[in-house]
Amino acid sequence: MSAVIETMTSRERVLAALHGQPVDRTPICNPTSVATVELMDLVDAPFPDANRQPEPMARLAATAHTILGFDTVMPVFSIIQESSALGCKMQWEGKDNWPTVRMSEPIWEHGDDIYVPNDLIDHPDTKCVLDAIKLLREDLGPDVAIIGKTMGPWSLAYHCFGVEKFLLLSLDDPDATKVILEKLKKVTIDFGRAQIEAGVDALTLPDHATGDLVSGEYYHRYLKDLHIEFAKAIPCPLILHICGRTVDRMGFIAQTGMAAFHYDSKNKPAESMAEVEGRIALVGNVNNPETLFSKTPDDVKSEVFANLDAGVQMIGPECAIPLQTSIANLRAIPEAVHEWHARQ
């Protein structure tokens, strides 16, 4: 087995893959968090500080490249920065748990209640993301890809209206639902554009129309056009993230103009590649709660190989990894990519 001769920087490799261009080897990407409690200790950047202060946020994010060997870094570990800026009630938690929005105490009841402040990106919990991105670019230079994150309106609506209430509204009153999504899209666009100005190369756009709660038809009805709009309005490659079984909507997602889809292990790599037919790149799929968290590096490698064999364009975990994940299992991802290419 011989080592792959790399002719591209990490950033060039990731951007090429996102633009559908040839790469020297498959990029290793984390569109969502790869933070762990051990990495937090190593660089003295524990949660919740690393979710609220730019310096620890940047230090922790950098470990994806410096310690784990990924081609990307991603400082927005959580999914709640914008929701905090919108006024949602927050539970920031401690080092070993994720911050959450108290969705049982929603801040809005009707579409008319929605208020998106003009200075949303100046809120401490959004500004720290922008400052962290600048720090990362300064520290890592031009050769590492920085991925930001801007939440989609469906996810924001869950946070601001409550999951159950918003889902019931989507059944009972499609027009009112669309009004809400239309109003919230400003958050997605504004925060995304601000991160581009701060220096990101690409943005993850989580919009949790997840397979367990929402059908493919729902995606088509409520989100496809909005996502097309985002792809045009936010001038950088977008990586859509939706958890769960999503093969039933991948055909629609492939038509949005987004650069990549960050997909869940509930979808098989080969069937997913067949569904998108090369119209959008795929990334992700390595299972978190079972494989990365509790199995062995060899099990992780098997899943990476399955993705590479299927032609998946970028390799990474399916979603934000559990905070207790072992470093050995995370490092098995880049190791597997290098091994696979060396065999070709």
Partner 1 sequence: MALREDPFAGLGTRIELVSTDRYFRDVSIALYVQDDGQGGSRFLVRSFARYDGLDARIAYILDAMITLGGMQRTDGLDAADSLRFPCGGAHLVAVRRLFLQACKEKPEAAAVQAPLSMWDKKSETTIHANGLGTGAYTLSAEGDAGRRLMALRNAVVKLADATMDDEDGTRFSFDCGHDHDAMIGLLLQSAPNVRAVMREFEMNAAKGVLMAPGSQK
Catalog residues that contact partner 1 under the rule CB under 8 A.
Answer: 33, 37-44, 46, 59, 62-63, 66-67, 78-79, 94-98, 100-101, 103-104, 139-140, 155, 158-159, 163, 167, 208, 210, 212-213, 243-244, 288-289, 293-294, 296, 319-320, 322-324, 326-328, 331
CA dihedral over 238, 239, 245, 248, signed as positive or negative: positive
Q: Which is nearer to partner 1, 43 or 236 (CB)?
A: 43
Q: Which is nearer to partner 1, 26 or 185 (CB)?
A: 185
Burial of 94 (0-12, 13-18, 19+ CB in 10 A): exposed
3-class SS shares of the chain: helix, strand, coil, % to 5: 50, 10, 40
Q: Which is nearer to partner 1, 26 or 30 (CB)?
A: 30
CB of 333 to partner 1, least distance (A): 14
Q: Which is nearer to partner 1, 44 or 277 (CB)?
A: 44
CA–CA separation, 301 and 329 (whole Å): 9
CA–CA separation, 101 and 115 (whole Å): 17
CB of 319 to partner 1, least distance (A): 7
CB of 297 to partner 1, least distance (A): 9
CB of 234 to partner 1, least distance (A): 21
**Which one-letter DSSP state was computed for residue 240?**
E
CB of 344 to partner 1, least distance (A): 27
Burial of 110 (0-12, 13-18, 19+ CB in 10 A): exposed
CB of 128 to partner 1, least distance (A): 18
Which residues on adjacent β-strands are paired with residue 285?
316
Burial of 19 (0-12, 13-18, 19+ CB in 10 A): exposed
Query: Left, alpha or beta for 44 (phi > 0: left; psi -120 to 50: alpha)?
Result: left
Give the 3-state secondary structure of residue 179: helix
CA angle 292, 261, 46 (to 5 degrees): 45
Rounded to the nearest angstrom, the gap between the alpha carbon of residue 100 and the centroid of all alpha carbons in its chain is 16
Q: Which is nearer to partner 1, 73 or 308 (CB)?
A: 73
Rg (CA), the chain: 19
Q: Which is nearer to partner 1, 148 or 206 (CB)?
A: 206
CB of 237 to partner 1, least distance (A): 23
Write phi, then psi, for 63 (nearest 5 degrees): -65, -20
CB of 143 to partner 1, least distance (A): 13
Q: Which is nearer to partner 1, 158 or 222 (CB)?
A: 158
Q: Which is nearer to partner 1, 132 or 273 (CB)?
A: 132
Rounded to the nearest angstrom, the gap between the alpha carbon of residue 73 and the centroid of all alpha carbons in its chain is 11
Tokens of 195: 């991160």
